[in-house]
Amino acid sequence: MESCVGVEQDLDKAISKFNAINDHTDVVLQDIIEQVQNLKKEIAQNPPDTPLSQTQAMVVSDLAARVKQTVFQMSTEHRELHATVSRVGKSIDRHFIADYGSVAPKAELFCSDSNKPIMEQAIAQHIFRQGLEEVGDAFVAESGISPVERTCAFAALQRCAAALAEGDPAPALRWAEQHAEELEHSPLPFTLHRMQALKLARTEGVGAAIAYARAQFPRHAARHERQLAACVCALAWVRGGAGAGAPPAAYRALLAPAALGAAAAELFVREACALLRLAPLSPLAGAVLAGARVLPALHDIRAKMTHPHVIAAWSDDELPLEVDLGEDGGGYHSVFACPILRQQASEQNPPMRLLCGHVISRDALNKLAMGAKLKCPYCPMEQAPSEARQIYFS
């Protein structure tokens, strides 16, 4: 974030300087054009082939000198602007790292004969999830991969979300009505009806919005009393209905169709995916998000990662740090990590449940076992190593 702020400051300076030069140039050029046109009209009033008077010759000479000086000044300002724009590129190079090859030495594995089709299928799935069937069909045909599911439930959700972002809640409302029972305790239906009421107020008038609210809002009044009251009050400021002045801050978000649509689209995708048990991100989008989050940390520790002891401590398919994907990253986790050896479980080293309920890896179990006895490292319970049971995560 600090890097983005640093680049944004230099970019704002470049834009500000460009706008100032642009405004100043327009004023100067317009002034010169008016002077040239006035001089042309004055000369045109003389009879044909009449030589210029001494005064007119001086005016022409002064005007030519001013044009030359203006061109020189504009050229100087352009050079200064070019230097300011160049500083933006230097700022990007300074704040962002362009070469991540050192932290991803195995990137060429994506191009292998076995992994390339998997990568192409992930791309095709992502395209179809976005509802871009024609693009997906062309990609599948040109890449020559095996057929991918062309239509999916997420594509329909994506189209509804896109309509919401454009200010049209009708497709999402139809979807919500089909799943009314499952959405009984969800805030999504009220959010969509509120958006539709505000849209009617803008397009057909406040009367139509009030009629729609009387028909749809009562069933949501108990759970959304404050939001409902705010929506009804916001109708007074639609089309400037309250007379003069700007609406109160509490209603401005409701009266901004773009912001309201974006928030409704985000809520719709989240609630619909939870209802249909769909991942909100495609495998490709999830991988890109995780990679974007972990790359800066990997770059910071790349010198330590090259140390022989560090390389030996981590397996080839395991990162040397924990990746926090944030709220938007989904519920992904690396199955199980042994709390004793700090290693990720695998088929050769599966998680084992002790009688007390604590779980450790099989390698840790073997190392802690002393003959026929094993003491749990987290509680006083003792047991035989053979009493531990392998567990499976689905």
Residue-wise pLDDT tens digits, 161-220: 989 999 999 999 999 999 999 998 899 999 999 999 999 998 998 899 999 999 999 988
Residue-wise pLDDT tens digits, 108-154: 677 777 888 888 888 988 888 877 888 888 888 888 887 777 656 77
> What mean pLDDT do residues 322-350 have?
73
CA–CA–CA angle 280, 154, 152 (5° rounding): 140
- Token pair belonging to 300: 């910071």
* CB neighbour list of residue 203: distance below 8 Å, 6 or more residues apart: none
pLDDT at 79 over 80: yes
Instruction: Please tell me the distance from the alpha carbon of residue 22 to that of residue 16, in angstroms, as a whole number.
Output: 10
B/e letters for 95-134, b = 16+ CB within 10 Å, e = fewer, are: eeeeeeeebeeeeeeeeeeeeeeebbbbbbbbbbbbbeee
pLDDT at 322 over 70: no
Confidence tier at 102 by pLDDT (50, 70, 90) = low
pLDDT at 298 over 80: no
Q: Please give the pLDDT value at position 167.
A: 92
State the helix-helix crossing angle for 225-234 and 206-216, rounded to 10 degrees.
160
Instruction: Please tell me the distance from the alpha carbon of residue 319 to that of residue 303, in angstroms, as a whole number.
Output: 15
Instruction: Please tell me the distance from the alpha carbon of residue 139 to that of residue 267, in angstroms, as a whole number.
Output: 31
Enter the DSSP assignment of 215: H
Confidence tier at 44 by pLDDT (50, 70, 90) = confident
- Token pair belonging to 330: 């989904």
CA 127 to centroid of chain Cα atoms: 17
Q: What is the mean pLDDT of the chain?
A: 81
Own/partner contacts of 253-259, CB < 8 Å, gap of 24 or more, are: 254/194, 254/198, 254/230, 255/198, 257/167, 257/198, 257/199, 257/202, 258/167
316 or 22, which is more confident? 22
